[in-house]
């Protein structure tokens, strides 16, 4: 498969390159970056020195099979309006622009709608927080047993803010620090609600979401709780049944921690029942399962490959 990457100098573009360079069925045709055009890819993504001699380019080619759009939120629509010829090829968009499934885009959460992804022309890759939270809720929504408000406390690493510097991404501020942001208003709430209603259309309760900035680089832990009329064994049976055919999501009998999934495309989930509430802890890497790894998973499905192809990644562990 011939691949083009638009916006290859950022975090998601770099992570996509790390995966695709070693993907057995991919040829990277170009890596577009206006700011880095003409420079080696490894001049920005310095860990790729020795892995690739690709250069960043400001040229665009449509003689490819799939384009990954890795520019900032709001930029994908502008790009496709300015370059309509790209609509003739398959697209995986990593921005928020089409997550409402407008203009023919399919929401790319394989654990929700794998069959639709297989036949899609355009994929809207889910957000990172959204992925972790949705995977925590899918089995309950599919069973139609979400009956009460959903409470979410989730923390993300600094790469979730993107590569552009801001007051809250500097090391001197973020290190040895923690803070909340966009409480109850985070932009991923819209897609989370859409996904839950896809499986349980009558759910109309509130999502109470408190996002945290963590003082680490990558990873997400989402702790989600809501009312549950059942035992811990009931919950485990429900979750294991739902995810038994999904290779990247696994139910742990022990509490989970973020280092278990950093640098992988996995989601690990642990469950607890307390006084009529089910607590679901869901962990992912925000740059892989929350972005570029999931994008490759979607590409694999779109082209009839095993969805695990190129994604046998190892966690850091320590």
Task: Return d(Cα 2, Cα 63) in angstroms, integer.
Answer: 8
Q: What single DSSP character describes residue 37?
A: T
249: closest CA among 230, 236, 232, 268?
Answer: 268
Task: Return d(Cα 23, Cα 121) in angstroms, integer.
Answer: 21
Q: CB within 8 A of 164, min separation 6: which ones? A: none
* Known active-site residue 128: yes
Rg (CA), the chain: 19
**What string of H, E and C letters represents the secondary structure of 78-130?**
HHHHHCHHHHHCEEEECCCCCCCCCCCEEECCHHHHHHHHHCCCEEECCCHHH
128, 138, 140, 291: the catalytic one is 128
Backbone angles phi, psi at 292, to 5 degrees: -70, -35
Q: Is 284 left (phi over 0), alpha (psi -120 to 50) or beta?
A: beta
∠ CA 13-49-303, nearest 5°, is 40
Task: Return d(Cα 58, Cα 263) in angstroms, integer.
Answer: 29
270: closest CA among 249, 289, 255, 248?
Answer: 255
Residue positions annotated with a catalytic role:
128
């Amino acid at each position: 498969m011939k691949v083009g990457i638009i916006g290859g100098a950022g975090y998601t573009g770099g992570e996509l390159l790390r995966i695709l360079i070693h993907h057995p069925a991919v040829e990277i045709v170009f890596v577009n970056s206006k700011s880095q055009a003409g420079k080696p890819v490894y001049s920005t993504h310095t860990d790729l020195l020795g892995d690739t001699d690709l250069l960043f380019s400001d040229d665009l080619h449509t003689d490819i099979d799939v384009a990954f759009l890795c520019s900032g939120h709001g930029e994908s629509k502008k790009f496709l309006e300015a370059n309509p010829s790209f609509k003739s090829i398959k697209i995986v968009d990593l921005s928020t622009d089409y997550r409402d499934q407008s203009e023919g885009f399919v929401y790319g959460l394989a654990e929700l709608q794998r069959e639709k992804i297989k036949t899609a022309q355009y994929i809207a890759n889910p957000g990172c927080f959204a992925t972790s939270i949705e995977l925590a809720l899918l089995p309950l929504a599919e069973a139609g047993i979400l009956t009460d408000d959903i409470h979410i406390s989730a923390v993300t690493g600094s790469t979730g803010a993107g590569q552009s510097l801001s007051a809250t991404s500097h090391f001197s501020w973020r290190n040895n620090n923690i803070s909340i942001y966009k409480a109850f208003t985070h932009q991923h709430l819209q897609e989370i609600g859409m996904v839950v209603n896809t499986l349980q259309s009558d759910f109309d309760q509130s999502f109470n979401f408190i996002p945290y900035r963590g003082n680490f680089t990558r990873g997400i832990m989402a702790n989600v709780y809501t009312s549950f009329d059942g035992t811990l064994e009931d919950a485990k049976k429900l979750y294991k049944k739902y995810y038994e055919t999904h290779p990247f999501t696994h139910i742990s009998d022990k509490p989970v921690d973020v280092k278990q999934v950093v640098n992988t495309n996995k989601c690990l989930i642990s469950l607890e029942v307390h006084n009529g509430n089910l607590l679901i802890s869901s962990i992912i890497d925000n740059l892989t399962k929350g972005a570029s790894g999931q994008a490759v998973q979607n590409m694999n499905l779109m082209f009839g490959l095993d969805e695990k192809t190129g994604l046998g990644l190892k966690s850091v562990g320590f």
